[in-house]
Structures are given as C-alpha cells and as structure tokens.
C-alpha cells in the first residue's frame, strides 16, 4: 500500500490525515462502467445477444457451488476426492481487472466425507461451506483472500448411518437469523434398506415411510449457534427426496428449492413403465417452500406432461393412478426428468436487462440415467418472475457446456454446469464440476432494446437432443440391441457406468481398464450381487459411493452381463459362466 501525508488547514485547527491509496487486489473490476472483455469464443458458450462470457479459471478442481464476495473474490466448494487427493475449498482473485483469476489458493482444515460435498455462501462476514455431513464457517478477514484458519462447526449430521445417497448439505439463510438445511432421503423411494437403497425390482415401499422422520425434508436451525445436530433444529418442510440447489429469495423473503425426482421407474417396474417413461419421468420440481410444505415423496411423484402428482409404483401406482396426489404441493415448474437441477439463483443486480431482475437462474448439471435415450440437461435456464411466481415460460440462457449433441454418455460432455453466483457488479458466475472451469457472463448490449429478437436464437436450443423430449422410437439407442448381456447392462448398469463403460468421471468408476472387472471373478460376482459401499480405488483413482445389490438377476443373466463387461470397453478377460455364478452365490 502507498501512503501520503496531507495537511489540511481549518480555522483554528490543523488536521493531519493519512490517506490510503487502496491497492487491494480485486477492487479494479468492481467498476460497473468498465467490465472486462469477453473471450473471443464467448467462453465456448452460447448466450442471448448482448451478453459476453469470459473464462475466469480453467481448472480449479471438481467445482460445486460458488459465492462471490463484495470485493470480487471468489470462493468455490469442491467435490471431495479422498484423503490426499484434493477437495476442500478454493479461493480466486483477479488482481488486474481483466476478469481472469491470477491468484488461486486451496484452503480448509475441516474433514470432508464423500463425493457429495456441496454448498457455500457468505453471511455476516463469515464464509459458510459444507461437507456431506457438516456445515462449517470461517471468518473472512477484510483485505485478505483466505479466511481465518479457525473453522467453526455449525451443524453436524450425527446419524449412525454416516454417508448415504442424497446427502448434500446446501444451506440458505433468511433475514431472521435462521439457517435452512436439507436432509436428503437415503433411498430412491423408501424401499427396504436391507435389500438395497436403489430398490429391488417389484418391491413395495414401506408405509408409512420411516425415512420421513429424519430425512426427505428441510430443517431450520440457528445460523450462528455452534455444534448443532439435527435435534437442535425443527422440521420446516417434508416430502423432498433430494435437494442440491436451494436459495432464499430476498424479493419475497421466501425459500425456494429445485428438487431431484426419483429414478428407475422402468428398471424396478418394467411391466408398468417403459424405458421412455423412465427417461423423461418423473419431473424435476422447482418449488416454493414454506412452513409445512409437503411435496409428496416417497408416495407421489410429479408428471410434468400430465401436470399432476401421480402415485408411485412402490405404493400401488401404475403411471395412471393419481390416488390422493392432489393433496400435495405442486411445483411452480415441472422440468423433464433427470436434468439434475443443482443450483438456483434469484438475480438482484442491475447489469442485466430489466426482464432478468428478480428472476431465477437454474443450473442443470445433466442426467446420467436416461438410457436407452440420450442424456439431457447440461445447460442453464432462466425463469422470469413477478410477484413471487413465474411470469413467463422458462428460457435457455446459457448452453454449450457439453460441447456435443446428442450426449450419449455423461463422459462425452466436456463440462457440466453446477453452481451459480452473482458478482457485486451484477455479473453471473457459473462453475463446472468436471474440471472446475468458471465462467463469468456479462451484459454489454442495449438494455432498453433487449427483448424477443435477442431471445429468439436461444429458443431454438429447446429443439436440441439434450433439451427436447426424445422420440420414443427414433431416439431409442437400444432399438437394434439383441445380445442379452448388453441389454441387461443397458438396463441396470448404464445409469452409473454409462454406455461406454467410462463412468461419470467423479462418483461412479469406469469399467474400462478396471481391475475390479478384469481381475478376480469371485470378487466381481460378489460385488454385483451384494453391492458395494465405501471408499475404493479403481485404476489408481479414489471413489466413495454406493452400488446397489443386483441379487435379483438370475444366474444366466448375471453370467451374461459380467461376460459382456469383461469383453468390452477395451477389456479382454475370459468369460464368466453360469456355473461360476452358482459356485460363488450358491444358487
């Protein structure tokens, strides 16, 4: 910093003032009249006319949610990869105003627990961030990029089960000192956990569902009290299977969430639901959440094509029965199934045209389980809002993250949009979960003249394969598949491991070149039949998720599918016979 001493003369008084010429990095780009230039290729994205995009950083790590401080410093929560493999939190600063981060620092001395670490925000001078089992905070120090090294525990998930499916802990804060945190459901539709959290084909859901006592909902806590557990909070809303994106809307002072719908309608109930229905249903729900909200999980799902809550098959539904679905809250918007809405942001700035003021941006991370149809999502949409509800149809705002269309396997997508944040100048920031790319979208056009003409080109994106509803016949990638092993693989294995056997790059490991596939037959048979949970290494990379049991497969089916994966995806191991399966499983 540079100091100058200047003497002022006031009648009868001499004052010596020290003026500080502020040289704090990051301050230069706060001037709204001097936004940095967008990248020549618009950061690889397509946006409405008048917007420009630049890449702030190329590879921060497996980025999840993001927040931008009032001085422009950026903080990103990363997906946990395992001890010694990264994870934690990363801070970014632009010191010369060109929009590019030239200081990138990892920090955090807290424990992370699984690949679903998620959630980061700033409140009252503290940086709040979460792992899958805890919410922490660290004090931000004015002028410094990194927060205080002291980490405070705000909330601990103290359930005996530890990590499980749908265990993200995004947090939202109201104006009264309350913090809202979801506790996601440990199963897909409240099937018997002894059998499998993913469900056993044809199995019934437990009624009443015991998961709803401490899961499948949002709990309210104090935002400042340390060392809380779920018992310190109060149930705010229920019937919510899985929430990754949640936000307090300052315009109407209400809580909103984007909810992931259940999976596997065809895999679990093939006689009731076609593969096409399973690909496009059930809806991903954009909901306004108030005290006592009940969205209906696990008993009901939302069908966006019918515009109704439908009875889940685990509870007697068949895709046509409504049951008592009308009693449960419908979404503001029902998006097509499996788009994976992972963040929502209400725009408060003035940089963008007026139509964006108070509206909602939603980041769709993209599906993994739409097989035998192409994957969908992988873009950011915008929902115009007025008086606390959508005022017009949703729009495609930013697209091109995947870099390909159609998207057959999730690994084909170059990037997956994940987190959203608004900068102090009204710029929109978007993170990518594959490599940690960060984009900044700015408006440089005519705000008063912005309208239908500028939006027309983005409307055409709704006809692309990763956004439109697939044709049941033409878009079916398995229409010519005849081999039994491949058909079984495409039905039960592709949601996680994908059609190319490469997994999703983070949560689900590849089968290609995997020692778990080409190695010991007995271990492979047992893993597929009995499932697998906890940290493992595959081709030298750590994974920590849950694989459901597949003990419902007949010995012939098990032999066929395991032989298929051992002889495909670049693998060249010997076949597995029916007698091999029977010898290991005793059937």
Give the Cα separation of 469 and 374 in Å (integer).
10
Q: Which of 168, 195, 222 is the last residue of a domain?
A: 195
Q: What is the pLDDT of residue 496?
A: 85
Is a pLDDT exceeding 60 seen at residue 23? no
Residue found by looking up tokens 């060249």 in the block: 572
Q: Are 387 and 456 contained in the same domain?
A: yes
Long-range contacts of 125-130 (CB under 8 A, 24+ apart): 127/67, 127/75, 127/89, 128/154, 128/171, 129/75, 129/77, 129/89, 130/77, 130/168, 130/169, 130/170, 130/171, 130/181
pTM, whole model, 2 decimals? Answer: 0.86
Tell whether 47 is covered by a domain: no
Is a pLDDT exceeding 60 seen at residue 6? no
Q: Are 328 and 468 contained in the same domain?
A: yes
Band (pLDDT 50/70/90 cuts) for residue 193 is: low
Q: What is the pLDDT of residue 12?
A: 39
Q: Are 407 and 495 contained in the same domain?
A: no
Is a pLDDT exceeding 50 seen at residue 54? yes
Q: What is the pLDDT of residue 542?
A: 81
Q: Are 351 and 457 contained in the same domain?
A: yes
Q: Which of 478, 506, 528 is the last residue of a domain?
A: 478
Is a pLDDT exceeding 90 seen at residue 375? yes
The better pLDDT of the pair 465, 111 is held by 465
The better pLDDT of the pair 197, 106 is held by 106
Is a pLDDT exceeding 70 seen at residue 306? yes
Long-range contacts of 104-110 (CB under 8 A, 24+ apart): 104/57, 104/60, 105/145, 105/146, 106/61, 106/78, 107/146, 107/147, 107/149, 108/151, 109/149, 109/151, 110/134, 110/136, 110/151
Band (pLDDT 50/70/90 cuts) for residue 1 is: very low
Token pair, residue 324, equals 């008592």
Q: What is the pLDDT of residue 269?
A: 94
Give the Cα separation of 138 and 126 in Å (integer).
6
Q: What is the pLDDT of residue 9?
A: 35
Is a pLDDT exceeding 70 seen at residue 329? yes
The better pLDDT of the pair 388, 72 is held by 72
Cβ–Cβ under 8 Å, residues 301 and 261:
yes
Average pLDDT of 106-121?
A: 81
Percent residues over pLDDT 70 in the chain: 91
Average pLDDT of 137-156?
A: 96
Q: What is the pLDDT of residue 161?
A: 74
407-411, 486-490, 535-539 — most confident range: 407-411
Is a pLDDT exceeding 70 seen at residue 82? no
Give the model confidence (pLDDT) of 442-494 as tens digits: 999 999 999 999 999 999 999 999 999 999 999 999 888 778 888 888 888 88
Q: Are 489 and 376 contained in the same domain?
A: no
Q: Determine how many CB atoms are found less than 10 A away from the CB of residue 460.
A: 10
Q: Are 292 and 420 contained in the same domain?
A: yes
Ranges 147-151, 231-235, 563-567: which has the least confidence? 563-567
Token pair, residue 66, equals 């993001």
Q: Are 473 and 501 contained in the same domain?
A: no
Respond yes or no on whether the N-terminal peptide bond of residue 547 is cis (omega within 30° of 0): no
Cβ–Cβ under 8 Å, residues 256 and 199:
no
Q: Are 320 and 384 contained in the same domain?
A: yes
Q: Are 138 and 283 contained in the same domain?
A: no
Q: Are 468 and 511 contained in the same domain?
A: no
Tell whether 220 is covered by a domain: no
Tell whether 506 is covered by a domain: yes
Task: Look at residue 98 and give its three-state secondary structure.
Answer: coil
Tell whether 302 is covered by a domain: yes
Ranges 87-101, 231-245, 291-305: which has the least confidence? 87-101
Alpha carbon distances (Å) from 581 to 485, 561, 562: 14, 11, 10
Q: What is the pLDDT of residue 494?
A: 84
Give the Cα separation of 263 and 208 in Å (integer).
20
Q: Which of 195, 227, 250 is the last residue of a domain?
A: 195
* Chain-centre distance for alpha carbon 454: 29
Q: Are 276 and 393 contained in the same domain?
A: yes
Q: What is the pLDDT of residue 419?
A: 98
Q: What is the pLDDT of residue 122?
A: 98
Q: 573: Cβ–Cβ under 8 A, 6 or more apart, which residues?
A: 517, 518, 566, 567
Ranges 114-118, 223-227, 564-568: which has the least confidence? 114-118
Band (pLDDT 50/70/90 cuts) for residue 495 is: confident
Band (pLDDT 50/70/90 cuts) for residue 335 is: very high
Give first-to-last CA distance, the chain, whole Å: 76
Average pLDDT of 6-17?
A: 33
Of 527, 508, 517, 494, nearest to 572 (Cα)?
Answer: 517
Tell whether 108 is covered by a domain: yes
Respond yes or no on whether the N-terminal peptide bond of residue 282 is cis (omega within 30° of 0): yes
Respond yes or no on whether the N-terminal peptide bond of residue 298 is cis (omega within 30° of 0): yes
Give the Cα separation of 460 and 204 in Å (integer).
42
The better pLDDT of the pair 531, 453 is held by 453
Cβ–Cβ under 8 Å, residues 565 and 513:
no
Band (pLDDT 50/70/90 cuts) for residue 218 is: very high
Average pLDDT of 270-289?
A: 97
**CATH classification at residue 490:** 1.10.760.10
Tell whether 514 is covered by a domain: yes
Domain count across the chain: 3
Is a pLDDT exceeding 60 seen at residue 86? no
Give the model confidence (pLDDT) of 33-52 as tens digits: 589 999 999 999 999 999 99
Tell whether 430 is covered by a domain: yes
Residue found by looking up tokens 């945190």 in the block: 181
Average pLDDT of 288-311?
A: 98
Give the model confidence (pLDDT) of 231-245 as tens digits: 999 999 999 999 999
Tell whether 488 is covered by a domain: yes
Q: Strand 51-57 and strand 438-443: pairing?
A: antiparallel
Domain that includes residue 330, residue range? 241-478
Q: What is the pLDDT of residue 4?
A: 32
Q: Are 507 and 470 contained in the same domain?
A: no
Q: What is the pLDDT of residue 81?
A: 58
Alpha carbon distances (Å) from 193 to 107, 164, 165, 188, 262: 37, 11, 12, 10, 16
| Average predicted confidence (pLDDT) for the chain | 89
């Amino acid at each position: 910093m540079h100091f100058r001493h200047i003497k002022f003369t006031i009648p009868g008084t001499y004052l010596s003032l020290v003026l500080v010429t502020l040289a704090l990095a990051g301050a230069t780009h706060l001037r709204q009249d001097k936004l940095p230039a967008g990248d020549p290729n618009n950061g690889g994205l397509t946006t409405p006319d008048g917007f420009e995009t630049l890449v702030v950083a190329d590879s921060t790590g497996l980025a999840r949610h993001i927040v931008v401080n009032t001085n422009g410093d950026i903080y990103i929560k990363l997906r946990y990869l395992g001890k010694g493999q990264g994870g934690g939190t990363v801070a970014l600063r632009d010191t010369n105003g060109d929009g590019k981060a030239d200081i990138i620092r990892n920090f955090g001395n807290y424990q992370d627990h699984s690949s679903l670490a998620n959630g980061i925000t700033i409140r009252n001078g503290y940086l709040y961030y979460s792992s899958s089992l805890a919410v922490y905070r660290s004090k931000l120090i004015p002028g410094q990029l990194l927060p205080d090294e002291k980490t405070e525990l705000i909330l601990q998930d103290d359930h005996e089960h530890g990590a499980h499916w749908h265990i993200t802990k995004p947090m939202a804060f109201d104006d009264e000192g309350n913090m809202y945190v979801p506790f996601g459901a440990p199963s897909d539709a409240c099937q018997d956990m002894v059998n499998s959290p993913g469900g056993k084909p044809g199995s019934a859901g437990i009624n009443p569902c015991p998961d709803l006592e401490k899961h499948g909902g949002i709990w309210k806590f104090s935002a400042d009290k340390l060392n809380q557990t779920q018992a310190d909070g109060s149930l705010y809303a229920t019937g919510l299977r899985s929430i990754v994106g949640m936000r307090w809307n300052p315009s109407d002072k209400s809580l909103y969430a984007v909810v992931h719908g259940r999976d596997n309608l065809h895999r679990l109930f093939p006689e009731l639901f076609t593969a096409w229905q399973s690909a496009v249903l059930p809806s991903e729900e954009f909901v306004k959440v108030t005290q006592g909200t009940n969205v209906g999980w696990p008993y009901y799902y939302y069908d966006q094509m019918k515009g109704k809550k439908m009875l889940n098959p685990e509870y007697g539904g068949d895709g046509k029965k409504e049951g008592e679905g009308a009693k449960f809250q419908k979404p503001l918007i029902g998006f097509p199934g499996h788009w994976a809405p992972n963040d929502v942001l209400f725009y408060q700035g003035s940089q963008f045209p007026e139509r964006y003021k108070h509206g909602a941006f939603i980041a769709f991370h993209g599906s993994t389980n739409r097989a035998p149809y192409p994957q969908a999502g992988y873009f950011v949409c915008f929902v115009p809002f007025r008086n606390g509800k959508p005022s017009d149809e949703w729009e495609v705002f930013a697209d091109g993250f995947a870099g390909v269309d159609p998207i057959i396997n999730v690994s084909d997508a170059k990037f997956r949009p994940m987190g959203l944040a608004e900068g102090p100048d009204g710029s929109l920031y978007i993170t990518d979960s594959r490599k940690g790319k960060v984009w900044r979208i700015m408006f440089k056009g005519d705000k008063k003249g912005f309208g239908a003409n500028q939006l027309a080109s983005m409307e055409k994106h709704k006809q692309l394969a990763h956004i439109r509803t697939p044709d049941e016949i033409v878009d079916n990638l398995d229409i010519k598949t005849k081999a039994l092993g491949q058909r079984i693989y495409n039905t039960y294995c592709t949601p996680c491991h994908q059609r190319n056997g490469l997994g999703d790059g983070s949560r689900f490991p590849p089968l290609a070149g995997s020692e778990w596939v080409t190695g010991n037959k007995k271990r492979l048979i047992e893993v597929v039949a009995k499932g697998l949970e906890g940290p493992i290494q595959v081709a030298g990379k750590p994974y920590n998720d849950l694989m459901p049991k597949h003990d419902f497969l007949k010995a012939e089916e098990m032999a066929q599918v395991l032989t298929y994966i051992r002889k495909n995806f670049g693998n060249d191991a010997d076949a597995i016979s029916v007698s091999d399966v029977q010898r290991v499983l005793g059937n």
